[in-house]
Amino acid sequence: MLKHHGFNLWADSYDDTVKNTEKSNQYPFAGYTQLMNAIYGTIITRNPTNILDIGFGTALLTSRFYKAGIKVTGIDFSIEMIKIAQEKMPQANLLHWDFTKGLPTSLSKQSFDFIISTYALHHLDDKEKVRFITLLLDLLKPSGSILIGDIGFQTREELLHCKNNNQDSWDKDEIYFVYNELHQALQTKCKLTYHPFSFCCGVIEIKKLNCK
């Protein structure tokens, strides 16, 4: 289970922490802005009507979609971050929920053009990631996409190299994406593509099989 208290304390300073780490091109947020802009650009050009954001945090990305008139639904486990996000998106449907428990039942009959998650799903272990992504596929419209932007690596060797170079700051409680391994686990259920944006981050795009 995620530690709610720590994220509630981090809510007010989260955005500044990201900016400072990214500016120095350091793990874990090197490439953060480029990654976020890529997700926004990919989605906004396809004229979606609704999106689901898993772990939206302070809504740094999601609020851009909200301002563009897209219907936003989101889940996050930090009450303090939800408060900050709700101020930016007063009409959005923001749910207090711990995604390590799966998905809230209120989403079961909904479907979305895009499902996004940025810097959140690394709190799931590798098997839990596969199970959770499988659940998300059921909420995705036939032509939709899941976009996961997170700390991630193409191979296990790349992850270990980054870990060895960042021993003092490496977060041992987080389980980062290894694209090749995720692809092997999910390739019979969906189509996956990896887009790297720095030495420690990238976007995994997931589509249902037989969909363009």
* pLDDT digits (tens), the chain, 212 positions: 434 433 343 344 455 666 666 778 899 999 999 999 999 999 999 999 999 999 999 999 999 999 999 999 999 999 999 999 999 999 999 999 999 999 999 999 999 999 999 999 999 999 999 999 999 999 999 999 999 999 999 999 999 999 999 999 999 999 999 999 999 999 999 999 999 999 999 999 999 987 65
Domain housing 143: 4-208
pTM higher than the cut 0.85: yes
Q: How far apart are CA 146 and CA 134, in angstroms?
A: 11
Instruction: Assess contact for 167 and 176: CB atoms under 8 A.
Output: no
User: What CATH number is given to the structural domain containing 200?
Assistant: 3.40.50.150
Q: Which residue's entry shows tokens 């969909």?
A: 211
Quick one: pLDDT at residue 15? 59
The number of folded domains in the chain is 1
140: helix, coil or strand? strand
In DSSP notation, 65-113 reads HHHTT-EEEEEES-HHHHHHHHHH-TTSEEEE--GGG---GGGTT--EE
